Amino acid sequence: MAQTPSFSREAMKQYKWFLSRYPTRRAALLPTLRLAEQQFGELGVAEMRYVADLMKISPAAVFGVVTFYTHYRRAGTGKFHLQVCSTLSCALRGSEDVVTRISERLGISPGETSECGLFSLSKVECLGSCDTAPMLQCNDDYHEGLTLEDVDQLIEQLRSEASQGVNG
Amino acid sequence: MRFKKICTADIGKKNCHTLAFYKKQGGYKQAAKALKKWAPDDLIEEVKASNLRGRGGAGFPTGVKWAFVPKNSKKPKYLVVNADESEPGTFKDRLIMEKNPHILLEGIIICCKAVAIEHAYIYIRGEFVFATERLQQAIDEAYKAGILGDNCLRSGIKIDVTIHRGAGAYICGEETGMLTSLEGYRGEPKLKPPFPAVEGVFGCPTVVNNVETLANLPYILEVGAKAYRSIGPEKSPGPKLFCVSGHVEKPGTFELPMGIPLRTLIDKHAGGVWKGRKLKAVIPGGTSAHVLTAAECDVAMDIDSLAAAGTMLGSAGIIVMDDSTCMVDALLNVMRFYHHESCGQCTPCREGTGWLEKIVQRIAHGEGRMEDLELIHDVCDRMLGKTICALADAAAFPAQSIVTKFSDDFVAAIENGGSPAWKKRHLSTVGGGASHG
């Protein structure tokens, strides 16, 4: 059994700061989920339950919020989450070719995670970077104006980061 | 008056995002004047007189919106800055926040003084991690320099600014959805009235303004309402950020006077249609706007001219499509977007967006029937004006206009076993089934 998650002293200080910025406790839920995501690496059932207990919100309500949004890092996501923007401006400039290239290189389809647990691939909706289409978001970072060579290079770079133990 | 870029003039210069740089360009002088010399009512009147209209999409007069906030309310009042930029084709607010964040903070101070607000929340979409960092740095700088906080610029006035990160949901760009999300819930829109100005976030009077709208305020105070009104068309004036993407040689954000001809924007500023191809279609204001054919593109880019042309300026996200584009694939892509982003509260939207995607998909994939074109219009009629917020309308507009204006593409796909791209790839097209992370 995994250990029950709990906030570090530093995270708890940050949580208290969130509470001080809103007139209701509930309003701090979205930032607190981000904090949990940051500290625990992902939001699984145990992490959501911890936030629910901490904030005195029902676990079902927390689950409802987490699943309404697409950008929280859910349990089972690969170390590197490649989210390829697939909305119109990117599609007009070859986002589908980017998805195909990543699929070929990693042997996974959109919605899947590689067996090694390093990569997840998703097609996502507009990331607000239409002038640099096609583009993708890998974890926090935008990779813009992609050629297929850029895609290959990025995958190599991420692989070597992982093998060197550099945090993505 | 001579046009001057106000948001993007210094972009590209070293440290243009810092407080030191911004102050050297005369930054925060107008905030200081607003805090110390302007009476709140006079500020509201000045912004009304400037004819500044909201830059987020609806184009509502900013000063009029401020005036709706009750003056004698015992409740606290809030400003919520809409930085959820998520209308496909739009990427201007991100540019302001990454490269010129202090102009937004100065605009926030001016608005807060005018409406007697002590706390502003900036609701920024969760994907914009770098913009969030830049904005937080700017806020930290401003607190440290005494520009924000309990005694802004030694005026005795208190203004706090807090960033609130979204988490991936187009619907949170809709103002009531945004407020619900800010309160810590699923971002489901609410019925209006009550309007946010009367009963907004936390049940309190709330102003919701777009990033670019607020960024215009320092300049209005600097040159005065009359001079501002003379930039572009008098009824929707001012400098404007236009985002051009799709099939052009030089996609980008261009700051130009409101009312610039669409052709000039595409051919001169964005380098023209790419690869020497011909223009086929333009979406002028984000994908929620009615499409324009190439023949309809002799139009001025301002709120009233585009409304007269049967479409809208919206968020000024201009998506250009060349003559190789199959409009069935383009529409399928747009319909998939709205289906994915519908919050699911209202049946006409939840079901309607799904039906539209399915119908357009079967046309693209060679299973369409001629009756489907009529069916698309029928579904749109049952969505328009029948829901809490405008997402259903935003899905129906492009469906109606693309099917009507490019019916040849749809007929060809129905008669010839699918869209050209689908036939070529057999597996995935521009709009091929996405899975979402």
Q: Is the pLDDT of residue B92 over 70?
A: yes
Cα-Cα end-to-end distance for chain A: 26
Same domain, B23 and B36: yes
Count of all residues that appear for chain A in the document: 168
Question: Quick one: pLDDT at residue B1?
Answer: 77
Whether B1 is in a domain gets the answer no
Domain residue extents for chain A: 9-68, 80-164
Q: Nearest-CA residue of chain B relative to A68?
A: B186
Q: Nearest-CA residue of chain A relative to B282?
A: A89
Average pLDDT, chain A: 95
Same domain, B107 and B220: yes
Strand B292-293 to strand B206-210: parallel, antiparallel, or no bridges (unpaired)? unpaired
Whether B5 is in a domain gets the answer no
- CATH architecture entry for A80-164: 3-Layer(aba) Sandwich (3.40)
Same domain, B83 and B225: yes
d(CA B93, CA B91): 6
Whether B132 is in a domain gets the answer yes
Query: What Å distances lie between residue B383 and A94, B333, B356, B379, CA to CA?
Result: 32, 19, 11, 6
Whether B278 is in a domain gets the answer yes
- The CATH number assigned to the domain holding B357 equals 1.20.1440.230
Which pair of structure tokens corresponds to residue B55? 């830059």
Asked if residues B152 and B35 have their Cβ atoms less than 8 Å apart, the reply is yes
Q: Whose CA is closest to A48, among A73, A23, A19, A84?
A: A73
Instruction: Inform me whether the C-beta atom of residue B436 falls under 8 Å from chain A C-beta atoms.
Output: yes
Whether B12 is in a domain gets the answer no
Question: Quick one: pLDDT at residue A164?
Answer: 85
Measured over all CA atoms, what is the biggest interatomic distance in chain B, rounded to whole angstroms? 72
Q: What CA dihedral angle connects A56, A59, A64 and A65, to 10 degrees?
A: 40
Same domain, B141 and B262: no
Question: Phi and psi dihedrals of B135, rounded to 5?
Answer: -65, -40
- Amino acid (one-letter) located at A83: Q
3-class SS shares of chain B: helix, strand, coil, % to 5: 45, 15, 40
Boundary-marking domain end, from B269, B302, B322? B322
d(CA B65, CA B69): 7
Question: Quick one: pLDDT at residue B2?
Answer: 82
CB atoms inside a 10 Å sphere around CB B258 = 25
Average pLDDT, chain B: 96
What value does the mean pLDDT take over residues B410-424?
Answer: 94
Same domain, B49 and B111: yes
- From the list A31, A87, A130, the residue facing B164 with the nearest CB is A31
SS (H, E, C) B231-277: CCCCCCCCEEEEEEEECECCCEEEEEECCCEHHHHHHHHCCCEHHHC
Same domain, B308 and B369: no
Q: What is the CATH number of domain A9-68?
A: 1.10.10
- From the list B129, B184, B431, the residue facing A27 with the nearest CB is B184
Asked if residues B67 and B42 have their Cβ atoms less than 8 Å apart, the reply is no
Residues in B closer than 8 angstroms to A126, CB to CB, are: 86-89, 170, 337
Give the range of the structural domain holding residue B64, as residue numbers without chain letter: 19-229
Question: Looking at the DSSP assignment, which residues form a beta bridge with residue B248?
Answer: B273
What value does the mean pLDDT take over residues A31-58?
Answer: 97
Q: Nearest-CA residue of chain B relative to A137?
A: B127
Same domain, B279 and B339: no
Query: What Å distances lie between residue B146 and B25, B79, B150, B152, CA to CA?
Result: 18, 20, 8, 6
Do B162 and A21 lie within an 8 Å CB cutoff?
A: yes
pLDDT band, residue B433 (cuts 50/70/90): very low
- From the list A26, A28, A133, the residue facing B245 with the nearest CB is A133
Same domain, B129 and B189: yes
Same domain, B151 and B253: no
Question: Quick one: pLDDT at residue A1?
Answer: 43
Question: Looking at the DSSP assignment, which residues form a beta bridge with residue A123?
Answer: A84
CA distance to partner chain A, nearest, from residue B384 (Å):
23
d(CA B36, CA B313): 36
**Cα B429 from chain centroid (whole Å):** 27
CA distance to partner chain B, nearest, from residue A76 (Å):
11
Q: What CA dihedral angle connects B356, B361, B366 and B369, to 10 degrees?
A: -10
d(CA B198, CA B360): 41
Same domain, B291 and B392: no
d(CA A48, CA A66): 8
Same domain, B142 and B249: no
Q: Whose CA is closest to B356, among B378, B385, B371?
A: B378
Element of type H or E holding B81? strand B78-83
* Interval B157-196: pLDDT, tens: 999 999 999 999 999 999 999 999 999 999 999 999 999 9
Q: Is the pLDDT of residue B435 over 80?
A: no
d(CA A129, CA A143): 10
Do B321 and A92 lie within an 8 Å CB cutoff?
A: yes
Q: Whose CA is closest to A5, among A45, A56, A64?
A: A45
Count of all residues that appear for chain B in the document: 437
Q: Residue written as tokens 């029948």?
A: B386
Per the structure, how many domains does chain B have? 3
Same domain, B217 and B262: no
Boundary-marking domain end, from B322, B351, B381? B322
CA distance to partner chain A, nearest, from residue B82 (Å):
14
- The CATH number assigned to the domain holding B150 equals 3.40.50.11540
d(CA B17, CA B94): 13
- From the list A26, A28, A87, the residue facing B337 with the nearest CB is A87
pLDDT band, residue B430 (cuts 50/70/90): very low
pLDDT band, residue A3 (cuts 50/70/90): confident
d(CA B301, CA B263): 10
- ipTM higher than threshold 0.90: yes
Percent of chain A past pLDDT 90, that is, above it, reads 94
Boundary-marking domain end, from B210, B229, B248? B229
Question: Which residues contact residue B96 at a Cβ distance below 8 angstroms, ignoring those fewer than 6 apart?
Answer: B7, B103, B104, B211, B212, B215, B241
Instruction: Inform me whether the C-beta atom of residue B418 falls under 8 Å from chain A C-beta atoms.
Output: no
d(CA A100, CA A160): 22
pLDDT band, residue B141 (cuts 50/70/90): very high
